[in-house]
Homo-oligomer: A and B are copies of this chain.
Amino acid sequence: MTHLIGFICVRLIGGCSKSSEGENEEYTKQDGDSITESRMQMDTHDLTRKLHTKNDSKIVMLVADGLGGLPNEVGGKTELEAANTPNLDALAQRGVQGLSIPVLPGIAPGSGPGHLGLFGYDPLKYEIGRGALEATGIGFELQDGDVAIRCNFCTLDENGNIADRRAGRIASELSAPIAESLRQIQVDGIEIFVEPVKEHRFVVVLRGAGLGGNVLDTDPQATGVPPLDPVATDAESEKTAEVAKEFLRQASEILKDQPQANFHTMRGFAAKPNLPTYEEVYGLRAAAVAVYPMYKGLARLVGMDVVGNASNLDEQAAVVKENWDDYDFFFVHFKYTDSTGEDGNFDEKKARTEDFDAFIPKILELDPTVVIVTGDHSTPSFLANHSWHPVPTLLSSDCCRYDNQTEFNESSARVGGLGQFEAKHLMTLALANAGRLGKYGA
Contacts and interface: CB of A to CB of B under 8 A. Distances in A.
A302 to B, nearest CB: 15
Contact of A428 (B30, B104, B382): B104
Greatest chain B CB density within 10 A among A133, A430, A441 is at A441
Contact of A110 (B94, B411, B439): B439
Nearest to A113: B441
Contact of A402 (B71, B418, B441): B71
Contacts of A387: 16, 399, 432
Contacts of A125: 35-36, 38-39
Interface stretch (A175-183, A252-260, A327-335, A419-427): A419-427
Interface string A376-398: 00001011111111000000000
A401 interface: yes
Interface stretch (A40-48, A139-147, A241-249): A40-48
Contacts of A441: 109-110, 112-114, 123, 127-128, 133
Nearest to A78: B401
Interface stretch (A20-28, A303-311, A357-365): A20-28
A401 B388 CA distance: 10
A174 interface: no
Contacts of A425: 104-106
Nearest to A402: B74
A159 interface: no
A415 interface: yes
B388 A437 contact: yes
A380 B402 CA distance: 13
Contacts of A439: 108-110, 386
Interface string A430-442: 1111000101111
Nearest to A435: B383
Contacts of A9: 382
A78 B417 CA distance: 14
A13 B420 contact: no
A432 B32 contact: no
Contact of A437 (B29, B106, B126, B130): B106
Nearest to A70: B401
Interface in A143-179: none
A109 B110 CA distance: 34
Nearest to A166: B23
Nearest to A9: B382
A380 B110 CA distance: 39
Contacts of A401: 70, 78, 389, 410
A30 B216 CA distance: 7
A111 interface: yes
A12 interface: yes
Nearest to A46: B124
A355 to B, nearest CB: 23
A-B pairs, top 9 by smallest CB distance, nearest first, are: A106-B428, A419-B420, A106-B432, A113-B441, A105-B425, A110-B441, A106-B429, A32-B234, A39-B125
5 contacts: A13-B385, A28-B130, A30-B233, A39-B122, A78-B401
